[in-house]
Amino acid sequence: MFYIIGLGLGDIKDITVKGLEIVKQCSRVYLEMYTSILGSSLEEMQEFYGRPLLLADRDLVEQGADEILAGAGDEDVALLVVGDPFGATTHTDFILRAKEKNIPFKVIHNASIMNAIGCCGLQLYKFGETVSIPYWDETWKPDSFYDKIKLNRLHNMHTLCLLDIKVKEPTLESLMRKRKEYMPPRFMSVAEAAQQLLAIVEKKDALERNTVLNEQSLCVGLARVGQDTQQIVVGTLQDMRGTDMGGPLHSLIIPAKEMHPLEVEFLQQYATNIKLDDYNH
């Protein structure tokens, strides 16, 4: 049997009882932590689970799925993922491969950022399409995510922005020399995401800035959701550019232009410098 088990968002204790029981019985257990990170070290996880874990890095997950699935038809093999198993399309591919090989599988769900963002008080059913904001560099500055934010705003829906994670990214030099060298891990902050959004907004005409997004648009910054150090900040897009929310992972929400009174009341506790009634229009 092949198991794909969600670990939740906080720390080692967020795994479900069912998930923990399966981990203890498996012949091999892989840990995938390149699509997200957990607030616990590998050593802490191995001690808590009472067994060794095999690290599944980006190369193994994306190119070595057959290696992970090997033998799962005869013995129990598990892949542990931060959040919920279906939070990344990479994990969906494992299920498809298991089906192709006639390997029985089971999914153990857990909390993910897609539902845990309700902690800020915005109602989940009012969220539109989720977007990803990638890191820019000197020659590559994609902005297609802005159009999705725009569409959500025009339909009066909230937008969850997932911020880029760079883990085990090969350096340009290593690609040219065909030698494996990796850049240091990078995790996009709310401030970095706001800076890129402001750069896009500055290019828009007056009408679009007044109707879609501008420097004074309301934003919600979230850091380390589900962990003891969770932090939520509410402010303008301009404010977010200078907001330090500490270590990863961060997320950014662009709320709908019109919010329910309960949403406004809940958000207000995180907005120390502005009165949200002025933004709910």
- Structural domains in the chain, CATH included, are 2-111 (3.40.1010.10), 114-269 (3.30.950.10)
225 has binding-site annotation: yes
List pLDDT tens digits, range 63-117.
Answer: 778 899 999 989 999 999 999 999 877 788 889 999 999 999 999 999 999 999 9
Q: Is residue 49 predicted with pLDDT exceeding 80? A: yes
Q: Is residue 207 predicted with pLDDT exceeding 90? A: no
- The pLDDT value recorded for residue 85 is 92
Indicate the average pLDDT of the chain.
90
Q: What is the mean pLDDT of residues 255-264?
A: 94
Give 124's pLDDT tier (boundaries 50, 70, 90).
very high
Q: What is the mean pLDDT of residues 27-54?
A: 88
Q: What's the DSSP call for residue 120?
A: G
**Cα–Cα distance for residue pair 213/244, rounded to 1 Å:** 22
What ranges in 50-143 are assigned the alpha helix state H? 58-63, 65-69, 89-100, 113-116
158 has binding-site annotation: no
- The pLDDT value recorded for residue 214 is 92
113 has binding-site annotation: yes
List pLDDT tens digits, range 130-174.
Answer: 999 999 988 889 999 999 999 999 999 999 999 999 877 766 666
> Would you say 8 and 55 are in contact if contact means Cβ atoms under 8 Å apart?
no
- The pLDDT value recorded for residue 175 is 64
- The pLDDT value recorded for residue 242 is 94
- The pLDDT value recorded for residue 141 is 93
59 vs 146: which has the higher pLDDT: 146
- The pLDDT value recorded for residue 226 is 93
List pLDDT tens digits, range 221-252.
Answer: 999 999 999 999 999 999 999 999 999 999 99
9 has binding-site annotation: yes
- The pLDDT value recorded for residue 171 is 67
40 has binding-site annotation: no
Give 201's pLDDT tier (boundaries 50, 70, 90).
very high
Query: Dihedral angle at the C-alpha atoms of 232, 235, 236, 238, nearest 10 degrees?
Result: -80
117 has binding-site annotation: no
**Cα–Cα distance for residue pair 208/86, rounded to 1 Å:** 35
**Cα–Cα distance for residue pair 217/239, rounded to 1 Å:** 10
